[in-house]
Amino acid sequence: MNHGVLLAIITALLVSCSGSAQELLPVTPPKFAASDGKELPIRYWNLKEKPRRVIIGLHGISGAAKDFENLGKKLQEDSTRTTLYALNLRGQGLDPAPGERGDIEDEDLWKRDLREFHEVIQQRHPEASIVWMGESMGALIALHTAAGGETQPRGLILASPIVSLDKVPRKQQTLLRSAAKICPICRVSLKTLAGGSFEAISGGNHFDQAEKNPYQIEEFTFRLLDTVGSLVTRMPEQARQIALPVLILHGGQDPLSNPEKVKQFADNFEGPVERVLAPESHHLLFYDISRTTMIHKTLQWLDQANF
């Protein structure tokens, strides 16, 4: 059966039997409708009516659900009973409200979206184990939401998590916090903050590549950047509240995460943790030189955890 037809049929069944305010809308491309009426586009790979497990993917800042493309395509070959859904986050480049792109009023909006999306996926696939996978900023959202305890996945995959602000000068941190209080909706570009260059994959300036993306955001509000910074600084304390199986993937050349800091961060978890370091890779692990290894390690971990 065509995947698009299957998606529409399952969605129709879900909507007809659920009184929830959230739903997946049967449109192309499909969308998730949050309880406040916000409709966020999603993408999916290896769609199955009865998968063994489902991964919910959360992308990074100025990214999009399509960032999980390399992992998603591999599922059809190496993990045939795993379905991947990726949510385009509110406040990012595919937010349907152009005026809200590059901004977030409160971190709880991200967390609520993830909880509600999880509930919809759980209704749709009641027998499947659900694992959350966040990349970069998405890892922050996934961890903080899980630590809240209201909704729990079976496991967490944190790809390139930013676990400290040690790479950001203290003066710049102070200026950003002050700016967020004085003019929260004023904006600045990540390129300006990074000094014009950022190597997210080997041998390339991330900003030069990102400018070609249709979902690229030129500038972010001070309050969004301050929110992300706050999530980062609270990562260790949030990790101490997690007893789930956790997989941490990070690159040895990541300009945002010191491998030693990530190692220290991993020690905070109560449950079993596996940490995989790609020594030669940078921030975007699934697109860098070790992408095949990182994808293999991810699927291997899922199988070993027996979700």
Report d(CA 29, CA 99) in Å as an integer: 21
Q: Which amino acid is at 14?
A: L
Tell whether omega for the bond before 214 is within 30 degrees of 0, i.e. cis: no
Q: Please give the model's pTM, rounded to 2 decimal places.
A: 0.89
**pLDDT (0 to 100) of residue 169:** 85
**% of the chain beyond a pLDDT of 70:** 85
SS3 156: strand
- Owning domain of residue 136: 3-305
The residue ranges of the chain whose pLDDT is under 70 are 1-29, 195-199, 203-211
Q: Please, are residues 65 and 86 in contact by the beta-carbon 8 Å criterion?
A: yes
The tally of domains found in the chain comes to 1
Q: Which single residue is written with the structure tokens 């300036």?
A: 205
**pLDDT (0 to 100) of residue 210:** 57
Q: Any idea what the CATH number is for the domain that residue 297 is in? A: 3.40.50.1820
**pLDDT (0 to 100) of residue 213:** 81
CA torsion, ordered 200, 296, 58, 284, to nearest 10 deg: 0
Q: Please, are residues 64 and 213 in contact by the beta-carbon 8 Å criterion?
A: yes
